[in-house]
């Protein structure tokens, strides 16, 4: 990795809840609110933005773990702000805490672990006999 990634670095994503973000299974909307699936997607994306400027050309990040708590609903049109903050650097693992706000409300929170690997190692892991 390139130097500069450190505890406290932040990345922010902003979104507005739209129908494609609703809680749904197999195309059937269960609740017309920001889904947990979309929240986790945004948590991983914000966390990825933390590492991408520091990846060497031959490196890539892979998801290692996600912990999430969905705390309050966000209906269509709600502005969502997802903030990821580097909380721990351990070997080739980067941990970030993530807060998801809907206005003043904390809509969700969690932690994302990403593992930095050589692209060649990822290719080896993806080979199946």
- Strand, helix or coil for residue 57: coil
128 confidence band (pLDDT: 50, 70, 90): confident
**How many separate domains does the chain show?**
1
Residue 115 burial (C-beta neighbours within 10 Å; 0-12, 13-18, 19+): middle
Note the pLDDT tens digit of each residue in 81-127: 999 999 999 999 999 999 999 999 999 999 999 999 999 999 998 99
Note the pLDDT tens digit of each residue in 28-47: 999 999 999 999 999 999 99
85: left (phi over 0), alpha (psi -120 to 50) or beta: beta
Phi first, then psi, for residue 7 (nearest 5°) are -55, 135
Q: Of 59, 42, 40, 46, nearest to 86 (Cα)?
A: 46
Report yes or no on 39 lying in a domain. Answer: yes
Q: Give the range of the structural domain holding residue 61, as residue numbers without chain letter.
A: 10-126
CATH number for 47: 3.10.129.10
What is the pLDDT at residue 94? 98
The C-alpha angle with vertex 99 and arms to 10 and 34, in degrees rounded to 5, equals: 125
Report yes or no on 2 lying in a domain. Answer: no
Stated pTM of the model: 0.93
Residue 4, pLDDT > 70, answer yes
Report yes or no on 1 lying in a domain. Answer: no
Report yes or no on 3 lying in a domain. Answer: no
Report yes or no on 4 lying in a domain. Answer: no
């Amino acid at each position: 990795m390139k130097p500069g990634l450190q505890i406290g670095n932040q990345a922010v994503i902003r979104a507005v809840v739209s129908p494609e973000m609703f809680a749904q299974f197999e195309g059937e909307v269960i609740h017309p609110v920001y889904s947990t699936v979309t929240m986790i997607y945004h948590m991983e994306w914000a966390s990825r933005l933390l590492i991408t400027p520091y990846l060497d050309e031959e490196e890539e990040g892979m998801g290692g773990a996600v912990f999430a708590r969905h705390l309050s609903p966000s209906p269509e049109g709600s502005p969502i702000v997802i903030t990821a903050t580097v909380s721990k650097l351990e070997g080739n693992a980067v941990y970030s805490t993530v807060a998801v706000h809907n206005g003043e409300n904390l809509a969700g929170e969690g932690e994302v672990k990403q593992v930095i690997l050589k692209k060649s190692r990822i290719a080896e892991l993806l080979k199946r006999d």
